[in-house]
Amino acid sequence: QLHREGVKVARCTVERLMRRAGLQGVVRGKPRKWIGQAVVEEKPMDLVKRQFKADRPNALWVSDFTYVPTWQGFVYVAFVIDVFARRIVGWRASSSQQTQFVLDALEQAVWARRPAEKALIHHSDRGSQYLSIRYTDRLIEAGIEPSVGSVGDSYDNALAETVIGLFKTEVTNRRSWRSREEVEWETLGWVDWYNNRRLLGSIGNIPPAEAEAAYYDSDETASGEAGAIQSTPGRRRCRNLGCR
């Protein structure tokens, strides 16, 4: 408009003067909101190094969340997954992406699993929710060691990304959604089906719940055999010698 009125001035000069005066042009689309959440100054280290393996339940958990568009706005769904059998041990759906909804998913996992202190690592990406002081303090309070991947690298949290990919393919991408309640209800059913009936090739084409049950059965059997051997040390030696 200035050029049309014969005023010769560079665009950058106009921008600089507008900034100095506290003026800003109107932009198309919705303005992006900053989620003001206090985060820890010293970030946890990556203790996993893309090695998403565990020799027992409650050794390594991974967490992440995704968003689902609905008629009422975005719904955010957070998951906590036990790496040993890929079992979902906590989840929560929310209309807000503040820290509380990922913290609620963690609380569900801690309540359901009751992990031993200093025996569990929790891994996530560097999202502000997972680096928040509230979330980190809760991990420490529960005796869980925090671990985070690098910035913007999905491979550093690949297992959580895989489970969320299944959730999106099998649930959220199949149709449109009206509300948070609708997403929450369908997620509840899917988590139950995933944990108890979905066959996962990565754990031998069995459901996560069955893989965990097999682990605990074998662990109890091994403990029972060890106890029997210790309680009757002479019987096994006699059997090897052929005596009665």
Reported as a single tens digit per residue, the pLDDT across 164-175 is: 999 999 999 999
User: Is 239 a residue whose pLDDT tops 80?
Assistant: no
Give how far Cα 160 sits from Cα of 5, 52, 66, 108, Å: 58, 10, 10, 17
CA distance 78 to 62: 11
pLDDT for the residue 210: 98
pLDDT digits (tens, 9 = 90+) for 137-191: 999 999 999 999 876 666 778 999 999 999 999 999 999 999 999 999 999 999 9
User: Is 15 a residue whose pLDDT tops 80?
Assistant: no
Which residue has better confidence, 59 or 238? 59
pTM for the predicted model, two decimal places: 0.74
pLDDT for the residue 150: 74
Q: Which domains does the chain have, with CATH numbers?
A: 38-244 (3.30.420.10)
Phi-psi group of 114: left, alpha or beta (phi > 0 → left; psi -120 to 50 → alpha; rest → beta)? left
State CA 184 to chain mean position distance.
17
Token pair listed for 193: 């089906």
Average pLDDT of the chain to the nearest whole number: 83
Contact predicate 64/157, CB 8 Å: yes
Contact predicate 29/19, CB 8 Å: no
**Burial group, residue 100, by CB count within 10 angstroms (0-12, 13-18, 19+):** middle
pLDDT digits (tens, 9 = 90+) for 211-231: 999 999 987 765 555 454 444
